Structure 1
């Protein structure tokens, strides 16, 4: 196996394994919090939803991409390709949609408590579940067209108007259909990114006004509620920046592939890597900012340490008891 192939495979393996681990940690922590507190805050529900979607992105794209990078061929049959491509396209779209939903929710949460905003703040948590369901259905419907163009890789060169993931092909019949789907998905992503950027700009403006008010009243310790809102807003802004950075590169490569109509395998692997980078790195960004998850991880770590100490002490006492019994029997035999 050549060195470039090994490097490429290792990069995809590290990206996939670390990303899946990070998203699983978030989901387990939120499951533990929900079990103990019997409920989750709305922003925690959205964040856990984002972690679940990102984990599915890595499972449906990262794992087969890693196997293909190491030189494995024909890892999926036709039905496997159709299923994996459909699920991946759906959850990839959901990843950006849920991030956008998170930014919109946080912009409403951090907004001043005027009459109009107060009514919206009360009602918006009730619509999060129906909104998430609508996002799932809408993205599944939008990705249904890909079911007709997905096929297994064929021997030889990649046909024209075909997108190769390495393990599956998206083979379009002509240039019109090829560019139609490209423009459709690019336009969708661009629209959602614009909404996210506007929501993030509003959050930044609100935080700026908040800091000015704090300075004007000469208060160096704002309320716990406002501090929590500021921390949550910082997470959202960082997630939006991370998404715009990686998916921006992804869409630039995608537009290049649309113009070229046939791209090299290196370009396709590069796009696949950047396409999964947000799903891989976002959980660690969430963990680094989220105090609930950090506290939950510390508690679990302490429990593991206490369990290890308990086992060591128990083992030591057992060995001591056995030694004492043997010595007692030896003394009795001597007498």
Structure 2
């Protein structure tokens, strides 16, 4: 095994382990909130779907990439390749949608009662589960396209009509059809990214106006601490910024894959690392900044009287 392959394999392995541990902890957090009978916020329900989606992205992309980097190239059959790529794409799509839902519900939560969001304050939390399930259904349907062109590396089709991705390959199609498929896959992502940027700018504006109104309170109270709502809002804004950064890099690599017939192996490896960047970083951002993590300790100490402050 070449040194570059060994180094890439170790990077994959470290990223997969870190991401798995981070998402596992957050999943345990969500489970504890449920079994301790704490009052779940709408963002906690969305967070649960986000963690599950991120875990699928890591497990169905990180583990195969790690095995391939260690020299195991033909460990997946045609069905296995289709399953791995399909589940990874579904998890990635739900991760995008869940982050978008987090930002939308948070801007509704912190908006003033006189704003245009006020009417949604009471109705929106009731539909969190419905929206989350619809996200899963939508991406499960959209990503059936993946099943049509992903195959193993040693099938019966001519190898000259393939793009190699290490342990699997994709069947090259007509350029017009490839662009059409890419557009269909990209449209929901673009809508989510646009919505996230809009809601994030709205949250920043709301927080800034709130800060201006509360300046005199801050001056009179030197020990002032930001409210859970403010801390959660800042966390979600940070989460959105992190997502947009990794998603932009991933979109650039995806454009290269669409345009080039046989992408360079280094390009494929870097793209795989970038695709796992957000699922790796996001749980640690949430653990460090999200107020419900610290609220869990109070719930564990006194499960019967737990009354977690709602963000929603």
Superposition TM-score tier, normalisation by shorter sequence: 0.7 to 0.9
Q: Which SS does the other structure have where 1:37 is aligned?
A: coil
- Give the 3 Å change call, closer, same or farther, for CA 150–197 of structure 1 in structure 2: same
- Give the 3 Å change call, closer, same or farther, for CA 220–259 of structure 1 in structure 2: farther
CA apart distance, 1:75: 1.3
The answer for the alignment partner of 1:260 in structure 2 is 260
The answer for the alignment partner of 1:3 in structure 2 is 3
| Contact 2:108/2:118 (<8 A) preserved | no
The answer for the alignment partner of 1:96 in structure 2 is 96
Measured in 1, the distance between the counterparts of 2:101 and 2:290 equals 18
Instruction: Show structure 1 runs of 5+ residues with no match.
Output: 301-335
Measured in 2, the distance between the counterparts of 1:222 and 1:104 equals 31
Measured in 2, the distance between the counterparts of 1:125 and 1:222 equals 32
Q: Deviations over 1:258-309 (max 9, x none)?
A: 2223311111111111011101111011101124324647999xxxxxxxxx
CA apart distance, 1:117: 3.0
CA apart distance, 1:202: 0.4
**Are 1:283 and 2:296 counterparts?**
no
CA apart distance, 1:216: 4.6
| Contact 1:82/1:151 (<8 A) preserved | yes
| Contact 1:65/1:165 (<8 A) preserved | no
- Give the 3 Å change call, closer, same or farther, for CA 74–206 of structure 1 in structure 2: same
| Contact 2:93/2:139 (<8 A) preserved | yes
**Are 1:118 and 2:118 counterparts?**
yes
CA apart distance, 1:37: 2.4
Measured in 1, the distance between the counterparts of 2:146 and 2:285 equals 32
Matches within 5 A, 1:157-172: 159-160=160-161, 162-172=162-172
Q: Which SS does the other structure have where 1:118 is aligned?
A: coil
Matches within 5 A, 1:27-106: 27-106=27-106
Measured in 1, the distance between the counterparts of 2:170 and 2:85 equals 9
- Give the 3 Å change call, closer, same or farther, for CA 21–32 of structure 1 in structure 2: same
The answer for the alignment partner of 1:325 in structure 2 is none
Measured in 2, the distance between the counterparts of 1:59 and 1:100 equals 22
Measured in 2, the distance between the counterparts of 1:94 and 1:19 equals 17
Q: Which SS does the other structure have where 1:169 is aligned?
A: strand
The answer for the alignment partner of 1:227 in structure 2 is 227
Measured in 2, the distance between the counterparts of 1:196 and 1:91 equals 18
Measured in 2, the distance between the counterparts of 1:269 and 1:215 equals 49
| Contact 1:26/1:287 (<8 A) preserved | yes
**Which structure has the bigger radius of gyration?**
1
- Superposed CA RMSD in Å reads 2.5
- Give the 3 Å change call, closer, same or farther, for CA 26–186 of structure 1 in structure 2: same
| Contact 2:228/2:291 (<8 A) preserved | no
Q: Deviations over 1:205-228 (max 9, x none)?
A: 00000000001555547998x711
Question: Structure 1 length normalisation: TM-score?
Answer: 0.82
The answer for the alignment partner of 1:184 in structure 2 is 184
Q: Which SS does the other structure have where 1:170 is aligned?
A: strand
Q: Larger relative contact order (C-alpha < 8 A, sep ≥ 6)? A: 2
- Give the 3 Å change call, closer, same or farther, for CA 219–210 of structure 1 in structure 2: farther
Q: Deviations over 1:70-129 (max 9, x none)?
A: 111211111111111111111111111110110111111111112753321100011111
| Contact 1:288/1:294 (<8 A) preserved | no
Measured in 2, the distance between the counterparts of 1:115 and 1:246 equals 32
The answer for the alignment partner of 1:140 in structure 2 is 140
Measured in 1, the distance between the counterparts of 2:103 and 2:47 equals 11
Q: Deviations over 1:48-85 (max 9, x none)?
A: 21111101111111111110111112111111111111
Instruction: Show structure 2 runs of 5+ residues with no match.
Output: 301-312
CA apart distance, 1:171: 1.2
Which range moved further: 65-74 or 174-183? 174-183
